[in-house]
């Protein structure tokens, strides 16, 4: 299953765009309230976002040499990656690891910043939300493609996990990006381990014969701002 070259996927916005209902669910808006300023703006902005053709991502598949749940460590291609106990437990049984990146590009952040500068705070928040949901839906497609490839080889995949979530420290981004290496995603990492473009995700998916796809542990998580928690709700 090893795939040392970065497998790339590209999408136009219309292929991975969240629906009005999905956006409203996230924002706690009622889509039937057509006169609500948020709903009015949504109907205006979604067609304008169709010009975004630069949503891209993918993964590199590398062998897992060792996994220690107790130590919260996984050794991938002879490189140790500290993922903490919770994520290490979710990766139990992994023979390979798919290390992924995905970005929705600069458009959402640039537009959100512009709207904030115009004091259009509701509109800025809506655009920011659309960007977050878009990159997750693009990653859903990439994960689904990976799952099909794994199944064809008699393998299962885990859910996906990212630094900064499920108690996995953000500083692990450096080791993760080092393992991924050169790739066409265009995502860069700052000294503080934040990704640019902002609407980007990174992380790991376990692959193996005995891997199980567990639900996210939102019930015991303390991160109230986690997008996975909000999407699940």
Instruction: Identify each DSSP E strand in 86-149 by its residue range.
Output: 96-103
Q: What is the pLDDT of residues 110-139, one digit of tens each?
A: 999 999 999 999 999 999 999 999 999 999
Cβ–Cβ < 8 Å for 225, 231: no
Instruction: Identify each DSSP E strand in the chain by its residue range.
Output: 3-11, 55-68, 73-76, 79-82, 96-103, 156-161, 188-189, 195-196, 200-208
For residue 226, what pLDDT band results from cuts at 50, 70 and 90? low
> pTM for this structure?
0.91
Q: Report which of 176, 157, 174, 170 is spatially closest to residue 90, judged by C-alpha positions.
A: 157
Cβ–Cβ < 8 Å for 142, 205: no
Q: What is the pLDDT of residues 166-198, one digit of tens each?
A: 899 999 999 999 999 999 899 999 999 999 999
Q: All domains of the chain, ordered by start, with CATH?
A: 3-232 (3.40.109.40)
């Amino acid at each position: 299953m090893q795939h040392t070259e970065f497998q790339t996927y590209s999408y136009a916005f219309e292929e991975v765009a969240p629906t009005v209902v999905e956006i409203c669910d996230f924002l706690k808006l009622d889509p039937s309230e057509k006169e609500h300023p948020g709903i009015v703006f949504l109907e205006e902005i979604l067609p304008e976002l169709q010009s975004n053709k630069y949503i891209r991502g993918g993964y590199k598949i590398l062998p897992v040499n060792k996994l220690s749940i107790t130590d919260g460590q996984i050794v991938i291609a002879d490189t140790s990656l500290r993922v903490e106990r919770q994520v290490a437990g979710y990766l139990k049984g992994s023979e390979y690891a798919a290390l992924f990146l995905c970005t929705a590009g600069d458009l959402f952040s640039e537009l959100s910043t512009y709207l904030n500068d115009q004091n259009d705070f509701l509109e800025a928040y809506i655009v920011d939300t659309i960007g977050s949901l878009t990159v997750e839906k693009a990653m859903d497609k990439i994960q689904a493609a990976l799952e099909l490839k794994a199944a064809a080889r008699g393998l299962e995949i885990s859910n996906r996990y990212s630094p900064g979530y499920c108690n996995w420290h953000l500083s692990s981004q450096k080791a993760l990006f080092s393992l991924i290496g050169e790739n066409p995603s265009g995502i860069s990492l700052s000294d503080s381990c934040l990704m640019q473009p902002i609407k980007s995700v990174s992380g790991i998916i376990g692959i193996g014969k005995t891997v199980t796809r567990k639900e996210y542990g939102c019930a015991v998580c303390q991160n109230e701002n986690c997008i996975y928690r909000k999407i699940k709700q």
